[in-house]
Each structure stands twice: as C-alpha cells, then as structure tokens.
A and B are shown apart, each in its own frame.
Chain A
C-alpha cells in the first residue's frame, strides 16, 4: 500500500498531479523566508492570571489571595522574578528561560471587548474579534488569512476540528495524530468523486489530503505515542515541524482546557500548578519543533477572561475580568511586561471584585498582525470590526 505522500509524489511525476491538485486550496511552497509563523494558543476556562503572573509587588496581593497566594521570589516555592513587581508561577521554569532570552513579553490586566462572565460568550468574543458574542460567524484569524490572500499563507488547527477563531471563508486544515492505518489513495480518489456534488465535504477532504501529505513528509509517517501530557508535547513538537516546513501552514491555533479553577486551585503546588507545568512543557515542545523558524515566530497565549482578585470560599477563584496573556517567540521583543497596572485594592477593581482590564487584547492582536504579518491598517479594520478606537500596539516584535 502506498502512503499518501508517495501517491502525491508519484502523481506529480506522472503529470496526473495537476488533476489531483486542482482545486486544492493554497498549495504553497513558501520558502523559509516567506511569511513568519504565528501561533495562537487559547486557554479555555479562564486562566487565573494573578497566579500565573503574580503581581507580588502589589501591596494587596498576598492578603487578597489568601490560601492560594504565590510567595514572593526568594521565599520557599516563590514566584520567578520578572521585574521586581511581577513574577511567573514557579511551575513555569521553561517560560522563565524564554524571559531571560528576551523572547517572552508578558501582558497583564488585559481583556477582549467582553465584560460579562460567561466562559462561552467570552470565548466567542475572544475568537470572533468583535465586541459581541454572536452575530459574527467567522474568526479574526480566518479574516487575517483573508487579508493575506495571495501571499501563500495557510492556516492550521491543531486538533480534529477548527475552533471559531480560525473558521470562516478561507479554507483551513486541521491535524491530529492518528492511531489508525493510513487510507489507500485509490479510496480517496473515489471519495473525491463521491463528494463531487457536496461542496462542504469535498473541501474538507481536499484539506485533509493536503495536511496528511505534509504530515507524512515531515514525520515520515511516525505517530506521536504516549498519553496525557507526553502525547500533547509530541503533538506540539510535530505541529512546530509542520508550521516550519517550507510549504507548511504559517498560521496555527491550538487550545487547552481545564483552567476553570473554582475550588482547590492550589498555590505553588496543586491543580493549577499541574496544568501550568503541562503548558510550560507543551509550549517548549512547540519551540523545539519549530527549530530555526522559532527565531521568526510569535506565539500569542490568551484566555477568555481573568478570575476574581480574592480567593473564594472554597480556595479557588470565580470568573473575573482582567487577565494575563503571553507573547513569546524569537520574533517577540520580550523581557518586558506590558501593563498599565490598575492595582488590586477594592476601589481599584472592576465592580469591586475583578482585576480591571486596562489593555485591550485586540490592540495586542492588531499590533501583531500589523508588524509581524504585515497586514495593513485598513484590512485590520475588517479583521477586528468595531475596534476603531483600539490602536495596534507598537513594538511588540523585533524590527
């Protein structure tokens, strides 16, 4: 049985490739000097930014957080110091290395346009790029792909399906490793014929074949094994390879769930710490997979909103507003914290309970799209509708 890769190579040689490839969207062969990689990681469930990036220098921090406060740098299980005011959770040593390499920019007290407290509406706003949960069926990253049309930039979702942020008129692929044997090319040809009257299935099949061929080419058909976080690390590493490939999709998304820490959140150890350890390793695996392309990469790690300033009655935190986000990668002008810090005192909070959001996350995203991907201001207005008053933040990436 031939693999998909061999099939594609063979048909290309025989000249039949033209027929097969006809209609495959965006088969591109961007060189390493093409569009730089941009990856968005969505942490679903609302990451507690006050634990992940503890503002230990704020006079109200330790008291407000009580049983889940992260100790100051230098104390037992203390935060990793960033700038004498903000720290990183001690479960994030690899991210700490990126900070020291000047490749991590921390954004704090940030939020999308959303100001209510529903995870699902919050995620919709984060992903649709608008100012309301519904009414926009496409995601801002898909519209960004639209703005890049003609430049050979493809999109990829890590996982079987495509999250809202990457859905829309521009066809995008998705990829997750498979435990099942590969399908014979002959059957795929028959399926393409079977779907000839069905635009949706037909487009999906073409995308799947394209990504499948790329994955075969990059991995030699080996499948990430293992379970749990080990498996996620292998997937992230492979994803890095796919993105870095000469004809790879330069824009990618993946998401991670399990951040909704209402009870027994833990401090330096415990539930949240375990998740952060996993994330730290997965992000590093992505870096390793990207290889030399890491130098040109920007990764935006974000969440739908933050959590309450004060710990609740069950040693956890409830839904809040201002959150933390990370920008990392060799292209990022890191080693900095970007925050107009609102303070944690009661009077400084949003509605007396949440970290106030002082930096619009759309400004961060617009700054990246503009300076990292070269999308013009006018097109940015379509990528983020109703964001006229949110200027792209400057100097997020290296010139």
Chain B
C-alpha cells in the first residue's frame, strides 16, 4: 500500500507530474479531487484550442513549399541539370516556412502555459514526440506544428489505430520519412521508366557521367522501418529486414498531391494515394499475407500493427517512462499493456489507468524535467507570458529544446541522463536569473512555491528562499530547486 499522501500534496502531484505545472490558484481549485480533475480531461470531447484559430493548415503551407521548390528547381534547370537541393535553395525554403514555424510554436507554447487541461496537453506533446518529425528537414519546419494539430491533437484520447492512420497518411510524416516517391519495382511508373532507360534508341549506359546507371525508381524503406521500430512494435518487436522491405512495398503510393512534372496529379499539398507508384500484388508482413487493395493494403497492415501485443507493450513502456520513472515499475507497464489490449488500444483508458495506479502518486518525484517542461512550469508558476513570439521562443533555443526539433525520428530521449548535463544545468541557472530579473511582480518566492509546489517544497529549500538577498534571487533559487527541477 502506498503511503497516505495528503490532499494538497496530491493536488501538486496532479498538476506537476501529469500536467505542465500549477498556475496560481490551481492547487486550491483541484485539491478536492486531484485524480478526478485528471480523469475529466480525458473524457472531455476534443475542441480546437482558440490559440490555433487562424493558423495555416499543412495543405496551405505545403502548397507554398512545393511552389517555392518548383521555382527553384526550374531556375536551376536552366543553369544545370542536377536537381539536388543545394544550400541557396534550402535558404529560400526556410525563409518561406519560418513564419509558419514561429506562429505554430508560439501558439503551442501559449496553450501549454495557459491551458486548464494541461494533462491532456502533455499527452499531445507525448504523442507528437512518439511520432516525431524534426524541423531540421526543411519541409517539416513549416508543417511540424500543423502535423501536431491535425494528426495528433484530435486523437490522443481515441483509439491508437486511428491515431496511427492519421499520422502515417499525414504529409509531414510521409515527407519526413521520404515515402512520397517510393515506388514499387513493378509499379506502372517504374516499369515505364525502366523501359525508357533500356530503349536501344535512347541514351546508352556508360556513355558519359551525365547518363546514370542504376535504378531510376524504386523502394525507399525509411517510413516502413520507422513505423515498425519506433511507432508500433518497437525495435525488439520481432520483425525482420524482409518485413521492412515488404512493408515498404505495401506503402508505395502513399504520397502527396501536386508535385512537379509527372507528379502534378492531385491537390497540391494534400495526401494522395498514387496508384501508379504502388507495387501490385499481395505481400507478406509478419507472417500474414495481405491481398492487394491499393491503399487498403497499407491500412490493413497498420490496423494489425496497432493490435499487436508488442505494440501494446512498447507504448505502455514509453507512457510509463514519460510520466512516472525512467525505468518504470514492471507492474505498471503490465497494467497499461493489459488495458491497451483489453480495450482495443483505447488511449483514453490507457491514460486513465496511469492516473489510477497508486504508485504514480508517490510523493518522491523521479523524473527530471525536460527543458520544455521546465519552461512551461516556470511561466505557469509566475503567470507570465511574453507577448513577442521571438522572445518567448528564444528560451527553448537557449535551453536546448526547440519545438519539434529532436533531430531524429526517435524523438527526444526521455531519461534524466539525456538532459542533466552540467552545461544544461548552468544554462537553466542563467535563464532563471535573466527571467527573475525581469519580473516586476512583488509576489514573494515563498508564496509562489506554495502555489506551485505546495507541500512538495521542502524545508531546506524554504529556508534558502527565506534567506535570499533579494526577491529575484529567491525566485531563481525556487526555479532551480531540486523540487522544481523534478516532477
């Protein structure tokens, strides 16, 4: 039996461990039923947060991207033959996409700092990171935020299969993992290209460096591999290289409309199943044979992957690691796995099972906050929010966690050792000093500690705050205290 934890402490745990931290008044508002407050957030039907109103959709942004890209390609074509994306082209694209990134990241930050349903918001961030795209790829700079809002947000409390399908057909994921041009070796387009390449009347192979041998059209296995390894089964989930190749063939044709030249078909910037790229015929993935049904073949494999026991355990482990402990208790992982399987991947129920597990309410915090969590919880505790997006977003750069920039499809890592470098700690200190120096509000740090951490703020920290030289110093000490750095 867990130790009895008093209600105010439970309120602080609810706000900090499961949410993005307490705003002034939050603890008092939820102290009556902290657990019920969390569960209610899972049951509330999805509504688009008003911060997102007026933001461009991924389709609109992608249309801009494709157009700029096409213009650059045409300019380049006039000069030389190679269509590879070179630095100046990347610069032009970044300039076109950056305003969208800033607007999306700004809105995301404002939601995280002000939301009354910050547990649900944490789940949004968790699933976005599970299905990570990274803005170091130019196209994702523009649409990573739209991807979160369109594919992730509406689905975090629904069935995992629906979330998975929404993600894998979203243009951001398709382009991040290079599937838009992946072609079946026997697809209509590949066969036609091969015929042209070997046309005796056409150019001869080896005639010069501008004529290139090798495949012109074929598979790209990136998306298929990362779906198996990262999105569903997990790396030890029992798939082989031949499953990867076969699944890649299944996914051929999952593409984007309105490209250049022969890819002009379809609405520019929207998902498009391109029959002409799709590898015909039945395929076998994980020992199961799937008849060809065009896009239906891929959908069927994804549904089966969502229902796979290895997927249940993989997701349960990641959720438990994120909310409870770096090495989560086996009984919690078992429980979440069981709920996932018993309720057909119902993520609302799985998330609720996390909250209703007594072990998640132990007073000692085991998770070190990631930089974004530290920033959100700080701004919530202080009830401040810089108006200028650039000022707001600079903090994420400084502390090493810009929005949607994990640098790899595995997403941000989720263990203390990944975040607690000496230099990272110094950056947090410097940032806290700079912030505390700009707060005019005379609310004493001890009062902020009470409203934010409640009884979690211990005696040693309280003494340090009481003995501080100035209000700003006390505030810095609070933000950098062990209790505030963990959740």
Contacts and interface: CB of A to CB of B under 8 A. Distances in A.
A binds B: yes
Interface of A: 44-45, 62-67, 69, 71, 75-76, 116-121, 133, 137, 157, 159-162, 164, 167, 172-176, 178-184, 186-188, 190-191, 193-198, 200-201, 204-205, 207-208, 211-212, 257-258, 260, 262-264, 266-267, 269-271, 274, 310-314, 316, 318-319, 351
Given A311-B214, A318-B221, 10 more contacts: A120-B410, A160-B427, A161-B420, A176-B427, A180-B434, A187-B433, A190-B477, A257-B408, A264-B85, A312-B221
A314 B464 contact: no
A34 to B, nearest CB: 22
Greatest chain B CB density within 10 A among A160, A161, A176, A257 is at: A160
B178 A314 contact: yes
Contact of A63 (B177, B213, B420, B482): B213
A45 B182 CA distance: 20
A164 B421 CA distance: 11
Contacts of A167: 417
A318 B422 contact: no
Contact of B420 (A65, A121, A196, A204): A204
Interface in B164-219: 177-178, 181-183, 185, 190, 209, 212-219
Nearest to B407: A257
Task: Give the top 8 A-B pairs by smallest Cβ distance, nearest first.
Answer: A66-B214, A313-B218, A270-B84, A161-B421, A207-B422, A160-B424, A174-B421, A180-B430
Interface stretch (B30-38, B267-275, B468-476): B468-476
A174 B84 contact: no
A62 B82 contact: no
B85 A187 contact: no
Given A205-B422, A270-B84, A316 B220 contact: yes
Contacts of B477: 190-191, 194
Nearest to B228: A118
B421 A316 contact: no
A113 to B, nearest CB: 16
A300 to B, nearest CB: 21
A212 B83 CA distance: 46
Q: Is the interface of A mostly helix, strand, loop or mixed?
A: loop
Given A161-B423, A183-B433, A197 B480 contact: no
Given A180-B431, A313-B219, A201 B482 contact: yes
A159 B418 CA distance: 12
Given A133-B235, A161-B419, A313-B182, A183 B430 contact: yes
Contacts of B433: 180-181, 183-184, 187
A284 B218 CA distance: 38
B40 interface: no
Interface residues of B, number: 66
Contacts of A176: 400, 423, 427
A161 B85 contact: no
Interface string B444-461: 000000000000000011
B400 to A, nearest CB: 5
A181 B430 CA distance: 7
Interface of B: 82-87, 136, 177-178, 181-183, 185, 190, 209, 212-222, 225, 229, 235, 241, 244, 398-400, 407-408, 410, 416-427, 429-431, 433-434, 460-461, 464, 468-469, 473, 476-477, 480-482, 485
Given A208-B422, A257-B136, A310-B215, A351 B430 contact: no
A211 B235 contact: no
A174 B422 contact: yes
Nearest to A175: B423
Given A121-B235, A198-B482, A269-B86, A161 B464 contact: no
Contact of A173 (B190, B418, B423): B423
24 contacts: A63-B214, A116-B235, A117-B241, A120-B229, A120-B235, A121-B235, A159-B421, A161-B419, A161-B424, A178-B398, A180-B433, A187-B476, A204-B422, A205-B426, A212-B426, A257-B408, A262-B221, A266-B82, A266-B84, A269-B86, A270-B85, A312-B220, A313-B215, A319-B221
Given A66-B212, A161-B423, A201-B485, A314 B220 contact: yes
Contacts of B190: 313
Contacts of B420: 161, 200-201, 204
A258 B136 contact: yes
Contacts of B427: 160, 176, 178, 180
